[in-house]
Structure 1
Amino acid sequence: MCTGGCAKCLGGTLIPLAVLGTLANILLFFPGGKVAEDSAHITDEVWYFGGILGSGVLMIFPALVFLGLQNNDCCGCCGNRSCGKRFAMFSSIIFAAVGVLGAGYCLILSAVALNKGPKCNTGEKWTYPFQDGNYLADHALWNLCKSPDNIVPWHLTLFSLLLVMSGIQGLLCGIQMVNGLFGTLCGDCKCCGCCGGDGTV
């Protein structure tokens, strides 16, 4: 597959993942699927916008760049019809690095949130009743959270989705960094749809 075609495929995959990551983060602002009575009742890691910023906004830019690589017009650049394509592939490495950083940010926040557990009402106060991820293996501990209803599975499901999706995004951006390097060094397999060396179709 051409390096441009590969980049387009990666970009097309990143877009839905970015949208899903953003939606997952938004849903976390509604503990247990309900509107929080107080913003202080929302888990701290939700306010760091791992899904909205890291897995969402910072992923849109690389995705759009990747999608446009295959259609990049590179004819007549310094008398070399492939140098424009090479420069575009080089720039994609930079945007892919931004994507890796965004995915890493979301991944770390999600891992911390899963280990820490949700903030909930234990009947006495709003706090974090779980320590070091002990609730992950012992479902009996979930009863420590009296409200909001179903806050533990809600927290666990959404942050797990963010963890998995950001991991996939980071992997895809990493692949594009390698793909972009090959495209920079070797060029794309075609340029501007040209078949002949003289630039004719």
Structure 2
Amino acid sequence: MCSLRRARSLGFALVPLATCCIVANLLLFFPDGRADLVKTNNLSKYVWFFMGIGGGGLAILVTAVSFLSLEQCAKTCGTDTCAMCGSVLPALLGVAGSVYCFIISGLALLEGPYCFTSSGWRSPFENIGPKYLFSWDTWSECRQPVHIVEWNVTLLCIQLGLSTLEFLICTVQLLSGLVHAVCRPCCYTQEYRLNG
């Protein structure tokens, strides 16, 4: 019963993380509050991978709902072990979603924003890698949208942090579910032999 309560707590913890991931990803579509950049497709290609909406958002929400419904599942199937085993697949989905969000956010951060420069619309930092993150004087190369570099760096770092937390939470539940799946039947068998 304790493990089911912990899974429920983890489910509650995932809901705000997933919501924040979705919001951060949506904000990447509107740098400087401008909606016209979506219409003209003047956004980084990685924004269209929906890492925060799909990976760190919807996949995690499905996982959270599964964790929150484990107690009901235990009442239906009659044992905690059955419910905890049932948490393995949702936990795997959560791990996959958080890893996807982390990888794509990291790649987007390395490439830098897509912005208007003296040479037109392009990604001015894509060939220098993460060096631009520490060369603040080069950020002025992006003329439009205003403060696009700060916008992207902040939101992508938020997504990296949130997806890391989501990964840790889902991994804890995955390991807990696997331990219940493997160890509980062994314990029941030993108890049966001792009593028999």
TM-score, length-scaled by structure 2: 0.87
The letter for the 1-side match of 2:13 is T
2:114 to 108, 111, 119: 119
* Larger helix fraction of residues: 2
Root-mean-square deviation over aligned CA pairs: 1.7
For residue 124 of structure 2, give the secondary structure of its aligned residue in structure 1. coil
Partner of 1:10: 10
Residues 74, 82 of structure 2: 8 Å contact kept = no
2:184 to 160, 183, 186: 186
> How far did residue 34 of structure 1 move?
1.9
1:129-155 deviations in Å (ceiling 9; x for gaps): 112122111100101101100100000
Residues 71, 83 of structure 2: 8 Å contact kept = no
For residue 41 of structure 1, give the secondary structure of its aligned residue in structure 2. coil
The letter for the 1-side match of 2:123 is Y
Residues 11, 67 of structure 1: 8 Å contact kept = yes
For residue 53 of structure 1, give the secondary structure of its aligned residue in structure 2. helix
Partner of 2:188: none
For residue 133 of structure 1, give the secondary structure of its aligned residue in structure 2. helix
1:50 aligned to 2:47?
no
TM-score, length-scaled by structure 1: 0.84
The letter for the 1-side match of 2:100 is Y
Partner of 1:26: 26
1:134 aligned to 2:123?
no
5 Å matches for 1:163-178? 163-178=160-175
1:92-118 deviations in Å (ceiling 9; x for gaps): 111100110000000000000111100
> How far did residue 72 of structure 1 move?
3.0
Runs (4+) off by over 4 Å: none
> How far did residue 88 of structure 1 move?
1.7
1:160 aligned to 2:157?
yes
1:88 aligned to 2:83?
yes
Unaligned runs of 5+ in 2: 186-196
How many residues were matched structurally?
Answer: 181
Partner of 1:149: 146
Partner Cα separation in structure 1 for residue 45 and residue 36 of structure 2: 13
% identical aligned pairs:
36
